[in-house]
Structure 1
Amino acid sequence: MDAQRQPLGVIGRAPGGDARAVAWEFPADLRAPSRARNLTRGELAAWKLTDSADIDDVVLIVDELVANAVVHGRGPIRLRLLLDGLMLRGEISDHSPVAAPTNTRTSREEDAEDGRGLLLVAALAAACGSTPTGPGKTVWFQFLLTGLAP
C-alpha cells in the first residue's frame, strides 16, 4: 500500500462501545477526492453497513467536502470517519484559516454550474458545520445510518 493510501490510524473498538474510527491524509491535489471516495467506500463496507444508499450518500458527502478542501483550502487534507452505534461523523480538515461558507448560493447564481456541493451535504447529512482548528479548519458532518450487519 502506498503512503498516500495508508491509514493514519485505525482505532478499532472503543472500550465498552461500538465506536470505530479511521483517518487518512492526502496532498491537496485533484486525485484526493477519488482516493477519499474509494477509501471511504472500502471502510464503510468493512464496518458492515447494510444499506447501499447510506454508503452512496456518505461517499457523496465525503467527495464534496474533500473536493472543496482541494479547491478552497490549503493542504494537506485530512479525512477522519468516526462510527458510534448508527451515528457516523466525518471530518475533513485543511490548513486554510478561511471559514467554510454558510450560505452557498444566492438567487443570482441559480444557473451556476458549481456551488451546489454544500447544499447536497446539508440535504443528506443529519447535521453539518465547520470548526476552526489550529492552523485551519475542520468541516464536519453527521449521518444517521439505517443499520449495520451483525
Structure 2
Amino acid sequence: MLKNEPNESWEYSLYIPNDPRAVTVCRRTLRLILTMHGLIRVVDTAELLASELVSDAVCHTKGPAALRVRWSANVLRIGAWDADPEPPGPPRDLAQLTDAEEGRGLALVRACADLWGWQPLARNGNRGKYVWFELASAA
C-alpha cells in the first residue's frame, strides 16, 4: 500500500459513458484508489458523496461524464464533470428529505464535505460543469 507524503500530489480521472452502471464502476474505482493511497478512513464518506455526484451527472445529462480524484496539500478533492453547463440546483435541507427518493445528493455533499462547489468547465470540446467536494480531514 502506498503511503501519502504531505507534499506528494496525485490525480486520477475516469471518463465514463452516460450509463447508470458507470456509477458502480466509479464507486469501486474510487475505493481502490483511496485504499491504495492509505486513505481508508475516508473511503466510505468519499464513496457516498462521489456516487451522488456521478449519479447526478449520469441521470440528469445526456452526454459523457468524468470522475476526478485529486490529493494535494493534505486535501482530498473529488468531483464529477458532466456535459450540461447549467448549474446544479441548490442543496436542500436534509431534514426535509427523509422520505424523498430524489434530491438528496447535494444535501449530503453539503452536510458531509468540508467544502464543496461547482464551476463551468469544458472538456474535450464539450461544455459542461464540474461539481466537487473536499475532505480536508483526509490526512
TM-score, scaled relative to structure 1 = 0.78
* Unaligned residue ranges in structure 1 (runs of 5+): 1-12
Work out the CA distance in 2 between the residues paired with 1:102 and 1:84: 27
* Partners of 2:34 and 2:40 within 8 A in 1: no
Alignment of 1:1-150 (within 5 A): 17-51=7-41, 54-104=42-92, 111-134=99-122, 135-147=127-139
Q: Secondary structure at the match of 1:67?
A: helix
* Partners of 2:97 and 2:104 within 8 A in 1: no
Query: Which structure has the highest helix share of the two?
Result: 2
Query: Per-residue deviation at 1:98?
Result: 1.6
Matched-pair identity in %: 32
Report Cα offsets for 1:79-132 as digits up to 9, x if no partner. Answer: 110001421001210111221112436x98764322111111111111111101
* Partners of 2:75 and 2:138 within 8 A in 1: no
Report Cα offsets for 1:44-80 as digits up to 9, x if no partner. Answer: 01111142xx110000011000000011123211111
Q: Give structure 1 regions of 4+ aligned residues with deviation exceeding 3 angstroms.
A: 107-111
* Unaligned residue ranges in structure 2 (runs of 5+): none
State the number of aligned residues: 131
Work out the CA distance in 1 between the residues paired with 2:69 and 2:96: 35
RMSD over aligned CA atoms reads 2.4
TM-score, scaled relative to structure 2 = 0.84
* Partners of 2:23 and 2:51 within 8 A in 1: yes
Q: Secondary structure at the match of 1:74?
A: coil
